[in-house]
Structure 1
Amino acid sequence: MYAIVDIETTGSRPTEDKITEIAIVLHDGQKVVDSFTSLINPGRSIPYEITQLTGITNEMVREAPRFHEVARRIVEFTEGKVFVAHNVRFDYSFLKSEFHSLGYNYQRKTLCTVRLSRKLLPGFPSYSLGKLCSSLKIPLTNRHRAYGDAEATSKLFDKILKLEKPHELIDLIDDEIKAQTLPPQIRAEQVMALPEETGVYYFHDAHGHVIYVGKSKNIKKRIVSHFAMDYKSRKSIEFKNSITDISYEVTGSELVALLLESDEIKRIKPKYNSAQKRTGGLYGIYQELDKNGYLHLYFDRIRVGDEPLVVLQNYQRAQGFLYRQVEKFNLCLKMCDLHKIKGPCFDFQLRRCKGACIGHESAEEYNARVQEAVNSFSFSKENFVIVGRGRSRGEKSVVCIEGGKYKGFGYFEEMDEQPSLAQIRGYIKPYAHNRDIQKIICGYLKANVSDHLIKYTLNEKNTEMSQ
């Protein structure tokens, strides 16, 4: 037995918006046997643009029951049945969210008529309910009203059921229910063939364009979890439905995966990635030595040719960043350009500053803490490589930093002797250094102890002196 469901809502976000109408059509696999429909008072105003789309007004739902008043009916009507809808994750996510607010865990097997249509009715230019029904000559009345859409979906479902032989159809539907968390155009075999290894993965749209880049220590597991999640907005459902292919690159090393993901997001600028699309910041953290031998940290707007210790997005973030260094490493407010007055800084009066601002603390002692702070968020001018897991047995990955700048990563065959920096340079593929990369490497070094860190000392001609 199938419960074919359609809902109308105040918006597209299941965690924030509410249901305004629901319709359920029961289908026994042969014909429609029952139905239920009701307007629902969402307990909030319906936006004008939603009313324009659905025709449901605030006056229409004012005397309608609240969701909790029809919840029991919905549970009973759908219990023991497969939950069917066109773009099922949207309707199902809204119902789960509404039931969750009542303290009830609503769980049903789900089936999507978009996925079934793409598989059994290939070649149509669009699989939206309206355009698909038009192509198949299925009558669709009261579009964007719950019962009208549920009735049309039931007729589409009925047509689909008659395309296959009964025993083949049962197997197909069972497979589709199992694969229901997958995007409509992704096959279960594709996901099953993914590697359970560390690397970077790419989601592509129908034109082959990369629309999302991610990384994981287990590519297959991460992608399965991606598809299994309840999508919280129409945009996220659109994202899932846009995925038509998956590609990946095994890296072996988690650090390399993090670095490659960051670079790929900046290079490709995928539609559904946002966190690392920016290519630079506005303010930098700098250090300078004053005439008395004290190291000063300060922030300023980045200019062409500058090489700041770290890049931050705006004035407020740069200022906040320095305040955190002062607190964490017991630095002087005045020496960090945060307290511009004559005499001791405010923290000295509270005994939080040791007096570098008035010469009470030696430059040597103060500078040691400044260097500790700098080391926590930058590489300074260090030259080192991080050697980790490769993509196969006997191979090693290597990430190279020279002069405090990330140079790139690569791979080499495991050897008995420690590789020279000159050899390392020959292994790596060059990549750009930026704030996100620096943050990734610093964070990784703090958290990871399994990779091998090799430091190099260079002379003035930038040739290796010792290891």
Structure 2
Amino acid sequence: MKISEITFTAIDFESAGTAPGKTDAPVQIGTCTWSLTGNVSDTWISYIHTDQDITWSAQKVHGITHDDLRDAPKLMLLWPSIKRRLKNKAVVAHGHGTEKRFLHAFPGHGFGPWIDTLQLSRAAWPDLPSHSLGDLCKTLGLEEKVTAIVPEKTWHDALYDAVASILLLEKIISDFELQDADISTLENTDTREWRKQRY
């Protein structure tokens, strides 16, 4: 299927952080939807309840505390909202490992194809010194556009990062004129040039 015919939903989780003997847990989710025929839409964010302690290092990154989560729903209760936004969409994340891992709470959900803007940006601009989401958006002039869509949010807020991911995808599709390419072009990225420079 052509990229121009597809609707994309970006997703981002913020987490409690890893601690010895414990697995990580999500504490916030953000999503937004976009296609070539429309603007960013259906922006959605929710805190997620967890009984797990939020590590100091994680709290330093995103600023989320247990006070923020006091009345938040558990992840399983968010399933209808997540399913509605991700079903029949191409799912976008920047370094999608965390997002895939947390969605394993819903076995057999069938979401995808998955588009990883981290891998795409490494293939697109292998010579950049950093491919972190924040650095990319600053370098490529996207930060103001993200802030215009989600004012009063900032980096490491799940919705802000989801919007940043989708605008980064839009930039890649536009710069490399991929509108009429097959979706597999975004799934199977060649990062060999980036790896040469890194190693």
**Structure 2 residue aligned with 1:29, among 32, 36, 54?**
36
TM-score, normalised to structure 1's length?
0.36
Report what 1:105 is aligned to. 108
Report what 2:128 is aligned to. 124
Report what 2:3 is aligned to. none
1:17 is matched by which residue type in structure 2? D
Q: In 2, distance between residues paired with 1:167 and 1:38?
A: 32
Matched, 1:11 2:17: yes
2:12 is matched by which residue type in structure 1? D
Q: In 2, distance between residues paired with 1:133 and 1:12?
A: 27
Q: In 2, distance between residues paired with 1:205 and 1:122?
A: 7
1:60 is matched by which residue type in structure 2? D
- Per-residue deviation, 1:186: 4.5
Report what 1:364 is aligned to. none
Report what 2:80 is aligned to. 72
**Structure 1 residue aligned with 2:47, among 39, 42, 57?**
39
1:126 is matched by which residue type in structure 2? S
TM-score, normalised to structure 2's length?
0.80
| Larger RCO, structures 1/2 (Cα 8 Å, 6+ apart) | 2
**What does 1:193-232 align with in structure 2 at a 5 Å threshold?**
206-207=198-199
Match of 2:175, SS state, is: coil
1:24 is matched by which residue type in structure 2? T
Match of 1:162, SS state, is: helix
**What does 1:390-429 align with in structure 2 at a 5 Å threshold?**
none
Q: In 1, distance between residues paired with 2:197 and 2:66?
A: 38
Q: Deviations over 1:142-198 (max 9, x none)?
A: 111101111211221221121133555x23x41332x37xxx7259xxxxxxxxxxx
Verify the 8 A CA contact 1:2 1:84 in the aligned structure 2.
yes
Q: Deviations over 1:360-410 (max 9, x none)?
A: xxxxxxxxxxxxxxxxxxxxxxxxxxxxxxxxxxxxxxxxxxxxxxxxxxx
Q: In 2, distance between residues paired with 1:12 and 1:133?
A: 27
Report what 2:186 is aligned to. 176
2:32 is matched by which residue type in structure 1? V
Verify the 8 A CA contact 1:40 1:61 in the aligned structure 2.
yes
2:72 is matched by which residue type in structure 1? A
Verify the 8 A CA contact 2:126 2:191 in the aligned structure 1.
no
1:105 is matched by which residue type in structure 2? G
1:175 is matched by which residue type in structure 2? T
Q: How many residues align?
A: 180
- Per-residue deviation, 1:29: 2.6
Report what 2:176 is aligned to. 164
Q: Deviations over 1:185-212 (max 9, x none)?
A: 259xxxxxxxxxxxxxxx99822xxxxx
- The runs of at least 4 consecutive aligned structure 1 residues that moved more than 6 Å come to none
Q: In 2, distance between residues paired with 1:186 and 1:11?
A: 31
1:3 is matched by which residue type in structure 2? T
Q: In 2, distance between residues paired with 1:113 and 1:35?
A: 19
Q: In 1, distance between residues paired with 2:172 and 2:165?
A: 10
- Per-residue deviation, 1:54: 0.6
Change (3 A) 1:175 1:138: closer
Verify the 8 A CA contact 2:137 2:168 in the aligned structure 1.
yes
Deviates more, 1:49-58 or 1:151-160: 151-160
Report what 2:159 is aligned to. 147
Q: In 2, distance between residues paired with 1:120 and 1:205?
A: 13
Verify the 8 A CA contact 1:29 1:161 in the aligned structure 2.
no
Change (3 A) 1:12 1:81: farther
**What does 1:345-356 align with in structure 2 at a 5 Å threshold?**
none
- Per-residue deviation, 1:75: 1.2
Match of 1:118, SS state, is: helix
Unaligned runs of 5+ in 1: 188-202, 208-467
**Alpha-carbon RMSD:** 2.5
